[in-house]
Amino acid sequence: MIKRIFKLIGILILIFLVSSLAGVVYYKMAPVEVTPLMLIRSVSPKGTPAQAEQEKHWEHRWVPYSEISPLMERAVRSSEDGRFYSHNGFDTIEIRHAMEEAERGGKLRGASTVSQQTAKNVFLWPGGGWFRKGLEAWFTVLIETVWGKERIMEVYLNSIEMGPGIYGVQAAAEHFFHTDAEHLPAEQCALIVAALPNPIERNVGNPSPYLKRRAARIRKYMKQQAPPPSTY
C-alpha cells in the first residue's frame, strides 16, 4: 500500500514537471492571451462596483516587444527591478535588505523580481503561502533558463495588471491615453508603472498627488538607467 502511494506521488510529480516545462516551452514563442488572474478577477472582482464590472470584461491585446516603447522597460526597471539584467531571477541583495529591515522592526516588504512576478502572473494564482511561493520559484528558474530576459520582459509588459480589467501595456495605453504602447512618452510610462503593485486603488486615469509624486521619482530614476545589454 505504501509503495503504491509513493509510486502515485512520483507519477504526479513527474507529470507536473513535464507539463510545467511544456508550458514554459510553449510560451517561449506563443502570446499569453489569458492568465489565471484574468479569469479569477472576472468571477471574483475587486474594487468599486464600476471597477468590478470592468474586470468582468477585461481589456488585453498582445503586442510584440518591438512595438512597446523602450521607455516602458526602463520605467519597470526603475520601479520594480533595478537589477533585472544582473540577477538570475532572484535578487538576493534586495531580499537581504528586506530581511534586515524586518529585523529592525520594519514591515516585511516584498522583494519579488520581474521574473518572479511574470512566473506568478502566467502560471499561478495570486496570494501567498510557502507552497505557492515554491511553485513560483520553480517557474522562475524555468523561464530564466528557457525564455531569457527579453522574453520575460515582453511577457511581463503584456500580462501585468495595470488597472481594473486592464492587462498589459497596450490595453493601458489605449484605455488611459488613447494611444499605442510604442508611442508612450516617459511621463505616461512612469505613471502606469507608478500604479503597481496596486493598480485597482491607484487610478492612472485620475492620478492622486501621491501617484504623481511616485511617477516623478520613477522618471528621475529612468534617466539613470542604462539601456538593456545587447546580449539580451
The reported pLDDT for the residue numbered 92 is 87
* Residue among 170, 150, 157 nearest 28 (CA): 150
Sign of CA pseudo-dihedral 59, 38, 140, 94: positive
Sign of CA pseudo-dihedral 232, 35, 118, 183: positive
* Residue among 209, 112, 121 nearest 162 (CA): 121
Q: What is the pLDDT of residues 205-216, one digit of tens each?
A: 899 999 999 999
Q: Tens of pLDDT along the chain (232 residues)?
A: 788 887 788 888 889 889 999 999 999 999 999 999 999 888 877 767 767 666 667 899 999 999 999 999 999 999 999 899 999 999 888 878 777 776 666 555 567 899 999 999 999 988 778 899 999 999 999 999 999 999 999 999 999 999 989 999 999 999 999 999 999 999 999 999 999 988 988 999 899 999 999 999 999 999 988 888 865 5
**Which amino acid, one-letter code, is at 81?**
D
**Which amino acid, one-letter code, is at 17?**
L
> 152 with 75: CB under 8 angstroms?
no
How many structural domains compose the chain?
1
> What's the domain range around 139?
31-222
The reported pLDDT for the residue numbered 93 is 86
Decide if 16 is inside a domain: no
C-alpha cell at 11: 507519477
Kindly report the CATH number assigned to the domain that includes residue 99. 1.10.3810.10
Decide if 22 is inside a domain: no
Decide if 49 is inside a domain: yes
Decide if 207 is inside a domain: yes
Decide if 26 is inside a domain: no
State the alpha helices, DSSP H only, in 59-91.
Answer: 70-79
The reported pLDDT for the residue numbered 152 is 97
Alpha carbon 211 to chain centroid, angstroms? 19
State how far the Cα of 194 lies from the Cα of 215, in Å rounded to an integer. 5
pTM: 0.90
Decide if 127 is inside a domain: yes
State the alpha helices, DSSP H only, in 126-208.
Answer: 130-146, 149-159, 169-177, 186-194
Decide if 3 is inside a domain: no
The reported pLDDT for the residue numbered 50 is 66
Decide if 23 is inside a domain: no
State how far the Cα of 124 lies from the Cα of 145, in Å rounded to an integer. 18
The reported pLDDT for the residue numbered 7 is 78
